[in-house]
Structure 1
């Protein structure tokens, strides 16, 4: 690493790794700076046109503070910041009009502002009230109190309305990419474990390292969840969200599935770490009995299962991203293929375990790996995912996606009618099961006929034969 790289890492630890990522990282920052500058200048210009006489920078300061809250992309936090700024400015104006600028008046204003912030439950915006009050106190008493009140109202209005006129961009792509990255990271760990198992015998230290890496993947899921929450907050009262589908529910359901699969993956590694033979000290080789070794065929079969498990998770995450973009056909086919390959590999591993000697102390037979795989397969079920996708599309009917549209264009009245129809269908009793309900996606399961009480009543009963007892 060169000296310039060390300096760049110190100045910008999260700097992009390529020039292509630089515009995507810098454009939002400069856009936010431009909005804050425009809000301050606009508030000051409006104050000069409205107020006669000398003015100060109260409107510009208030607009900048409120714009910081609005740029945080949460309506609740922005309203709290508006209340904090308005209350702090009003408190400072009252103290300046009654007492003037003294050290004891400053202490009184700061203490009262903090107490009032606690009473109003402003949370993270609590410090904005004393900060705003001190900024107003520091400007002196040359400007009339009425002028400061008007300037404060102008700054609050500009700070709230400007984000509505120039709304921030909605991070659809970053949220979907964060979900896809979760599946890619899980696949990388599983492929690494499969490669190590195919090369030779594994040790407990290596399996413990895999388990630690799987534990760290929980942070990636939390990061992706934060991206989805940020997406939900930005869409609130954002004019750019009009006519666009809300992809947060479909991304959240995919994250829940990936999180459940990560728990199954951690359970597999924990079972392997618990049951793999521990290293033996050379001095105890003649005293203790030789520990059982891992069966080579079972280890190779498990390596195949882990590799296909990783491919299935990666294709599932890619399918979730494609669902959010509106082009999930190819991704669904790839996931279906990988899902069936994983199920076949699980069946091969189960058959291999069945042919093992039941008395042989194999760690694969005692590790509980098959139940963890069954749990993952249940979470990744194709039909369940299709049902989740169709319900989400029904709730977003007529809205646009990144690369498509969900159904024909509709107006709010049509969407309300469709929502009432769905609610009416959910209130209806479920139809009786048919033969199709018992068919798997591979059409190998034999159908079970439906037996109704009418069929049992219509079936002729066998007659009992009376035995003639001999006298």
Structure 2
């Protein structure tokens, strides 16, 4: 029964949180966002009651709710577009109510005008916010003075814009880093299923085709991870919580790009297997219809290679997440171990290929697998990753990470002084370094900088004596 309920939940809610920690991590921001929306709406109503006399409606609360939702729950660019759409729609509805009142033809005119104005302002995906806001304001009735509703709209807009600046949303550092690790974990799960299938049975074309379909489905996970990293970049803008916090977007993007390239190489391996795998056997099939692409030994080693490749990718994703958190030492050691094991598996396959007597289709398939594996090894090279990490850390000196800090703590004044000193050094003219050609014209030219006059004279004498001997 529990398994049936788990499968039903997976079908209805594929992205449901797993475990208490993930549930709390996803529930707390949602509850905080709902609380902020509620407080902003109530605050707008209280300010309107304090500043405006006479009858009033809920225009200020409604406007604050719409603007707050636009600016707090979306990225900065989309939030700005939605604020423009909401305020324009509210203004259009107020003007129509003041001039013509509420009629069926005035409703149609407001909707058409709002859609037309949204197209002129190029609001894009937020175009429908304008007519929706206008209709909500029109539905409030016409018994309130137009001046009161204008003031209420301004108060609601002000509260909806200022409230997210005073209480900014949390910067989703951990969720963005976890998205990269989940991409690597999904690739590992696919490779483990493929390795287990190759260890227990022979390869068939439908089997490999299912692996290819799963690999194609992983591209949506990578796109989702890129979206989360992009949202992290947008949330940091005009966010007081991001002051002094390191921007982990570059290191996450580089890790995602490496995982995406590895996924392409993985698909290339599966495509080669599919091309050489036998189709489903039929009674009318020829004598070579059931020929396997690998013999037993090579298939076992390839399965071991796929399993170690999955472990290496998972360790790489864990290392990228640890880099973003500021504690990558242990994760890097684990990744280096898995990387070496993957290279050992590649060497084992190469030895079996070297022992082959003929260059048949099996040899060509194995060579293609090794070529794709070499591309994966190049993408996961630890030296290149360390260089990327060090360049990123150099650009984030003195800033905080969730579990550490990059270098010594610096202030804005220190960074400004450092940039001025660096600019002054770059503007300072550099003394030209002497270049000496101490070889003959037909030999390789080498450069020896900063030689004294005595050494230069001695080299010139040696060169002249060699020419006289000739």
Distance (whole Å) between structure 2 residues aligned to residue 6 and residue 423 of structure 1: 61
C-alpha displacement of 1:279: 5.0
1:218 aligned to 2:219? yes
1:114-133 superposed Cα distances (whole Å, 9 cap, x missing partner): 11111111122222222222
- Superposed counterparts of 1:85-100, under 5 Å: 85-100=86-101
Q: Is the 8 A contact 2:272 2:365 kept in 1?
A: no
After superposing the two structures, state which structure 1 stretch, 376-385 or 355-364, moved more.
355-364
TM-score (norm 1): 0.85
Q: Which residue of 1 aligns with 2:301?
A: 301
Distance (whole Å) between structure 1 residues aligned to residue 91 and residue 293 of structure 2: 77
1:277-320 superposed Cα distances (whole Å, 9 cap, x missing partner): 445445556x6698476322322322232222111111111100
| Unmatched tracts of structure 1, length 5 or more | 430-449, 466-471
Q: How has the CA–CA distance of structure 1 residues 208 and 8 changed in structure 2, closer, same or farther, with 3 Å as cutoff?
A: closer
- Superposed counterparts of 1:253-264, under 5 Å: 253-264=254-265
Q: Is the 8 A contact 1:74 1:233 kept in 2?
A: yes
After superposing the two structures, state which structure 1 stretch, 276-285 or 456-465, moved more.
456-465
Q: Which residue of 2 aligns with 1:252?
A: 253
Q: Is the 8 A contact 1:395 1:419 kept in 2?
A: no
Alignment length, in residue pairs? 445
1:250-303 superposed Cα distances (whole Å, 9 cap, x missing partner): 111000000000111111111111123445445556x66984763223223222
Q: Is the 8 A contact 2:204 2:278 kept in 1?
A: yes
| Unmatched tracts of structure 2, length 5 or more | 431-442, 449-458
- Superposed counterparts of 1:48-447, under 5 Å: 48-278=49-279, 280-282=281-283, 284=285, 291=291, 294-365=294-365, 368-418=368-418
After superposing the two structures, state which structure 1 stretch, 287-296 or 268-277, moved more.
287-296
Distance (whole Å) between structure 1 residues aligned to residue 364 and residue 383 of structure 2: 30
C-alpha displacement of 1:35: 1.1
Q: Is the 8 A contact 1:301 1:349 kept in 2?
A: yes
Distance (whole Å) between structure 1 residues aligned to residue 198 and residue 469 of structure 2: 66
Q: How has the CA–CA distance of structure 1 residues 219 and 85 changed in structure 2, closer, same or farther, with 3 Å as cutoff?
A: closer
Q: Is the 8 A contact 2:353 2:363 kept in 1?
A: no
Distance (whole Å) between structure 1 residues aligned to residue 347 and residue 468 of structure 2: 47
Task: Give the alignment's Cα RMSD to 1 decimal.
Answer: 3.3
1:172-213 superposed Cα distances (whole Å, 9 cap, x missing partner): 111111111111121222222223333353222222222222
Distance (whole Å) between structure 1 residues aligned to residue 192 and residue 124 of structure 2: 45
Q: Is the 8 A contact 2:71 2:83 kept in 1?
A: no
Q: Is the 8 A contact 1:39 1:159 kept in 2?
A: yes
Q: How has the CA–CA distance of structure 1 residues 42 and 452 changed in structure 2, closer, same or farther, with 3 Å as cutoff?
A: same
C-alpha displacement of 1:15: 4.2
Q: How has the CA–CA distance of structure 1 residues 110 and 205 changed in structure 2, closer, same or farther, with 3 Å as cutoff?
A: closer
C-alpha displacement of 1:454: 6.1
Q: Is the 8 A contact 2:278 2:290 kept in 1?
A: no
After superposing the two structures, state which structure 1 stretch, 18-27 or 124-133, moved more.
18-27
